Amino acid sequence: MAAPVSAAWAAVAIVGVATIAIKSSGVMLVHGRQLPARLESMIALLAPAMLAALVVTNTFGGDHRLVLDPRAAGVAAAAVPVALRAPLLVTVITAAATAALVRAI
């Protein structure tokens, strides 16, 4: 079923403006201000917390459920180059090749 073209353009405009506003708000709110030390140490922890959440949602995330599919095999295989501190390229290719292989079987 096709959506009306006008709805598509409305979505392009609304989501585009909202996304640009969201991305701009973060850098405008904080810039050039001396933040309280506690807030700074919390913002510093955003990277490990968000990266772990990105790993989880990109590996197991499904439509309102957790799924175990070839992505998990790819990430598990990538743990080896990660542990060996191999270059990112090796890690990414290991994950993709493993997931492709498991999916083909």
Residues 32-91 that bind other proteins (CB under 8 A): 32, 37-38, 40-62, 64-66, 70-71, 73-75, 78-79, 81-83, 88-89, 91
Nearest approach, Cβ of residue 36 and other proteins (Å): 11
**Rg of the chain over all Cα atoms, to the nearest angstrom:** 20
In the region spanning residues 1 to 30, those forming contacts with other proteins, defined by CB under 8 A, are 1-5, 7-12, 14-16, 18-20, 22-30
Tokens of 83: 């542990």
d(CA 44, CA 15): 28
The minimum distance between CB 105 and other proteins, in angstroms, equals 12
Contact criterion met (CB below 8 Å) for 59 and 72: yes
* Residues whose CB is less than 8 angstroms from the CB of residue 58 and which lie 6 or more positions away in sequence, other chains included: 71
Nearest to 86 by CA among 34, 24, 77: 77
Minimum CB separation from other proteins for residue 63, in Å? 8
Q: How far is the CB of 37 from other proteins (least distance, A)?
A: 7
